[in-house]
Amino acid sequence: DSDIELKLIPDFIRDDDGAVVSQVLHGPDRVFKLAKDYWKLQIVDGAVVKNYEWHTMLQRAVPFMTKLVFEGPVPCNRSDPHEHCDPPCISFKFEIDASKIAQGSKFRDGKLRDKETGQCLGHLSARSWIFFSTDLGLGLMDCWGAPMWRAKVHSYLRNQTFCNLDDERDCVQYHE
């Protein structure tokens, strides 16, 4: 856990009132891709940046104690808003919970861990300045707070489905 110093600029890619990382001034080697991919500032100390003045939020932040959450890479400003400048790529490892196997469970339950960062796949949410919670969708988070997923292996098309044990409707599919 080393200090990271970033330079933020107005989001010229989405052309909204948000901010993106334009330069990493100081930090470990793995964080320099934040500037290359123009990662977007999403949350300042638990509050969603959307519809708020990000300059003001950062001016009121406590130095060295404020948690910032970024999203990346930012989609290009093209006709398809879901098209990325560089296709995102992530590789997960399914870590089976050994205690479930020891108890004789017929299911394969575990966590989906990113091979590069070591973080786990989970559902992200943030509280706003008031009392509301905003669903940010799926993303990487610390593994201690990430949900357990149940693997459902299908014999056709080498298709696997992982469903969140907390909400069976929350599933992700993997196709080879």
Q: SS3 for 24?
A: strand
Q: What is the Cβ-side half-sphere exposure of residue 138, based on CA atoms within 13 angstroms?
A: 13
Residues 6+ apart with CB under 8 A from 97: 109, 110, 111, 148
Quick one: tokens of 148?
């357990």
pLDDT digits (tens, 9 = 90+) for 96-117: 887 766 566 667 889 988 888 8
Please report the beta strands in the chain, taking only residues with DSSP state E, as ranges in sequence order.
Answer: 5-10, 19-26, 40-44, 47-48, 68-71, 92-96, 108-114, 120-127, 133-141, 149-153, 159-164, 171-175
Quick one: tokens of 118?
């070591």
- Alpha-carbon gap, residue 108 to 46, rounded angstroms: 33
- Alpha-carbon gap, residue 123 to 135, rounded angstroms: 8
Res. 158: pLDDT tops 60: no
* pLDDT of amino acid 169: 73
* pLDDT of amino acid 150: 87
Q: What is the mean pLDDT of the chain?
A: 76
* pLDDT of amino acid 39: 84
- Alpha-carbon gap, residue 41 to 6, rounded angstroms: 11
Whole-prediction pTM value?
0.46
Specify which residues 139 forms β-bridges with: 122
Model confidence at 80, pLDDT cuts 50, 70, 90, reads low
Res. 119: pLDDT tops 80: yes
